[in-house]
Structure 1
Amino acid sequence: MYLQLGQVPTVVISSPRLAQEILKTNDAVFANRPTTLASQILFYKAQDIAWAPYGSYWIQMRKICTLELLSVKRVRSYSFIRDEEIKSMCKCLESSAGRTIVLRDVLVQLVNDVICRATVGDICKDRSTLIDVLFDIMRAVIAFNMGSYFPNLQFINAITGKKAKWLKRQKQLDIILEDILEEHRSHRPSVGHDQEDLVDVLLRIKENGDLDQPITIDNVKAIILDMIIGGTSTSSMTLEWAMAELMRNPQIMKKVQAEVRAKANGNTIAEDDIQNMHYLKMVLKETFRLHGPPLLVPRISREDCKVEGYNIPVKTRILINAWACGTDLDSWENPDSFIPERFENSSINYLGSNFELLPFGGGRRICPGISFGVGIIENALANLLLHFDWELSNGLRPHELDMTEAIVLSNLPKNPLKVVPITVSLDKYKGSQVAG
């Protein structure tokens, strides 16, 4: 679908077949990002990974991210952080057992704590302020901005006060990040790289100075923003939707809980346990399919290109409707229904090679933090199902649960999920399973 959004020619892609044309066949042509005033101000002249233009700098930073920041070994080194924070979450839920809670508050706290500790460590004294500022930045980036569609009218941002607000927020953010970097310079790990958080890794790479393009402190700050923003809202959103779908589908809830409790090693869940929880993974795939980000981060064509016989000129903005791909009638049977079993004998995954399922995007610009984010989601959901039974609040029945979506920072439930956690005696459960 072609749209003329102000002065910006835009093409919307809404099928897996055409998404493959953009993300695979012509990936290099559509590897650029649009330039916006918000991303220029808030992300240090777009020197992060998400908004940086395609070129030698982005290629270098993407390589650093893949090999150093979010490698399999590095992600595993953060597992103790995830486990500690999940244990803390479960203790919090135990103290609220039998009472109604807003699950979103618990999940957002969990995800924020895991990602902040892995990124900036335990020494960030302004963590809550940092998160608040980052959420403001996310709102600014995704909010409607007249200047993004009428580049000749950028002065509107100054008249309306948006530019001044962004500059103020960026200055506040820069002070926090500078404090974080100074703390890390003063307290660098003295033994091995395994104890490094992501800021330590970036500072080490910068100081080694053996890069094709030397990186600056502003580059480091921009990447830190990506690491924190990239996972906070999306991971907690996925967990809330997964729990909402399970509350609305009690039979699926019973089935996945039975698997988790059968596979878990006593009161704890190890990495190997998760790998054997095949139905849990199907539940998450189905959650990604129905409730992932509706639109992928925009791309822009670097040159003229022909797709399916249509001419797409240079500098055309490309929007990929991931939700439409995930509910495409030609790809999915009963696409609007939550049916984890559809993945039982399916090789479809969310790693970017199956264009019917694109929660993390695809091609060169695919999210580099998939394993990190999914690790948090899988372990958190497994622990929620292992340690607790769940009831809806105020006698609400499953079919009455409001599943209306609200597009804010991401595709959240319009009304936060309210549930009642019921602590489970796992020893009793295991005994009944053996007796059965």
Structure 2
Amino acid sequence: MVDVLLEIASDPNLEVQIDRDGIKAFIQDLIAGGTESSAMTVEWAMSEILKKPEVFAKATEELDHVVGRNRWVTEEDILSLPYVDAIVKETMRLHPVAPMLAPRLSRKDVSVDGYDIPVGTRVLVCVWSIARDPVLWDSPEEFMPERFLGSKIDVKGQDFELLPFGSGRRMCPGYNLGLKVIQVSLANLLHGFAWRLPDGMATEELNMEEIFGLSTPRKFPVEAVVDPKLAAHLYTEA
């Protein structure tokens, strides 16, 4: 990608021009929005699963039944894995990568809950707080993927209780790809390996502190012991 952008920048005959600062900003956006966010969500999901072995057991049971032990999970399998999908949604609810959505501007004077908001006011939506609102969620601080089984609440920006990718015209443009990457990555981690905490560490000892900022990564990297579950020849093929 960098090579292509540098080639474009060095060609004066192209209609589209980009300088080195533009290349740097473009690559930074790709890394921050396209890889860091997905990896961060998967790490939070694994952290929550390590604290609840029963969730791992339910997920692997579903994966073994739907996918089997002779292959990896593919994108086409996700529609048949409602519990894995529920784990992803619950992770995005409890640990949204972007706690504050992209800023909005009010386009007209409006009154909301007794507050007068004039036109042009910059509005920031805190999805982190919405996801922990006891009015909207039962036991909001608890990791319970089961809450999404049979639920119509989705992450596509139409259900305001759950907006990990935002909503409307300023919604994340790559949400569809990002969601698939997270779902397939997490499903294969659960399907191909057996995970547990290091010897001597109890589940309540797993530190779940987060760094609050433009993103919400773990304060300390998660540590886990992993053993292969699938046949050895699958790793060779992969």
Task: Give the TM interval when normalised to the shorter protein.
Answer: 0.7 to 0.9
Give TM-score scaled by structure 2 length. Answer: 0.84
Give the conservation status (yes or no) of the 8 Å contact 2:104–2:122. yes
1:11-30 equivalence runs, <5 A: none
Give the conservation status (yes or no) of the 8 Å contact 1:402–1:415. yes
Q: 1:389 aligns to what SS in structure 2?
A: strand
Question: Which of 250, 256, 260 is matched with 2:63 structurally?
Answer: 260
Q: 1:408 to 1:419 in 2, by over 3 A?
A: farther
Letter in 2 for 1:352: G
What is the rounded CA distance, in whole Å, between the counterparts of 2:105 and 2:91 in structure 1?
29
Q: 1:399 to 1:366 in 2, by over 3 A?
A: same
What is the rounded CA distance, in whole Å, between the counterparts of 2:17 and 2:112 in structure 1?
39
What is the rounded CA distance, in whole Å, between the counterparts of 1:225 and 1:299 in structure 2?
22
Q: Which residue of 2 is the match for residue 331 of structure 1? A: 136
> Are 2:173 and 1:349 equivalent residues in the alignment?
no
Give the conservation status (yes or no) of the 8 Å contact 1:304–1:311. yes
> Are 2:204 and 1:399 equivalent residues in the alignment?
yes
> Are 2:42 and 1:236 equivalent residues in the alignment?
no
Q: Which residue of 2 is the match for residue 182 of structure 1? A: 6
Letter in 2 for 1:344: L
Question: Which of 411, 414, 420 is matched with 2:225 structurally?
Answer: 420
What is the rounded CA distance, in whole Å, between the counterparts of 2:173 and 2:211 in structure 1?
26
| Bigger relative CO (Cα 8 Å, ≥ 6 apart) | 1
Give TM-score scaled by structure 1 length. Answer: 0.48
What is the rounded CA distance, in whole Å, between the counterparts of 2:63 and 2:28 in structure 1?
34
Q: 1:327 aligns to what SS in structure 2?
A: coil
What is the CA-CA distance between 1:372 and the residue it aligns to? 1.0
Letter in 2 for 1:276: S
Q: 1:259 aligns to what SS in structure 2?
A: helix
Q: 2:35 aligns to what SS in structure 1?
A: helix
Identity across matched positions, percent = 42
Q: Which residue of 1 is the match for residue 54 of structure 2? A: 251
Give the conservation status (yes or no) of the 8 Å contact 2:9–2:18. no
Q: Deviations over 1:236-275 (max 9, x none)?
A: 1100110000000000111001112222252222222122
Give the conservation status (yes or no) of the 8 Å contact 1:360–1:366. yes
Give the conservation status (yes or no) of the 8 Å contact 2:165–2:171. yes
Give the conservation status (yes or no) of the 8 Å contact 2:157–2:167. yes
Letter in 2 for 1:251: E
The unaligned stretches of length 5 or more in structure 1 are 1-119, 125-178, 187-202, 210-214, 428-436
Q: Deviations over 1:98-134 (max 9, x none)?
A: xxxxxxxxxxxxxxxxxxxxxx2xxx4xxxxxxxxxx
Question: Which of 62, 75, 78 is matched with 1:274 structurally?
Answer: 78
Q: Which residue of 1 is the match for residue 235 of structure 2? A: none
Q: 1:420 to 1:184 in 2, by over 3 A?
A: farther
Deviates more, 1:394-403 or 1:330-339: 394-403
Q: 1:361 aligns to what SS in structure 2?
A: coil
Give the conservation status (yes or no) of the 8 Å contact 1:233–1:409. no
What is the rounded CA distance, in whole Å, between the counterparts of 2:7 and 2:78 in structure 1?
36
Structure with max Cα Rg: 1
What is the rounded CA distance, in whole Å, between the counterparts of 1:359 and 1:225 in structure 2?
20
Q: Deviations over 1:348-406 (max 9, x none)?
A: 00110100001111111011111111111111111111111012124211122111112
Q: Deviations over 1:284-325 (max 9, x none)?
A: 000000000322122233443333443212332212110111
Give the conservation status (yes or no) of the 8 Å contact 1:350–1:360. yes
Q: 1:223 to 1:314 in 2, by over 3 A?
A: farther
Q: Which residue of 2 is the match for residue 369 of structure 1? A: 174
Give the conservation status (yes or no) of the 8 Å contact 2:72–2:192. no
What is the rounded CA distance, in whole Å, between the counterparts of 2:59 and 2:208 in structure 1?
20
**CA RMSD of the aligned region, Å?**
2.7
Q: 1:425 to 1:365 in 2, by over 3 A?
A: closer
Give the conservation status (yes or no) of the 8 Å contact 1:233–1:410. no
Q: 1:182 to 1:404 in 2, by over 3 A?
A: closer
Q: Deviations over 1:209-260 (max 9, x none)?
A: 7xxxxx6426974555433321222111100110000000000111001112
Give the conservation status (yes or no) of the 8 Å contact 1:305–1:313. yes
What is the rounded CA distance, in whole Å, between the counterparts of 1:238 and 1:413 in structure 2?
10
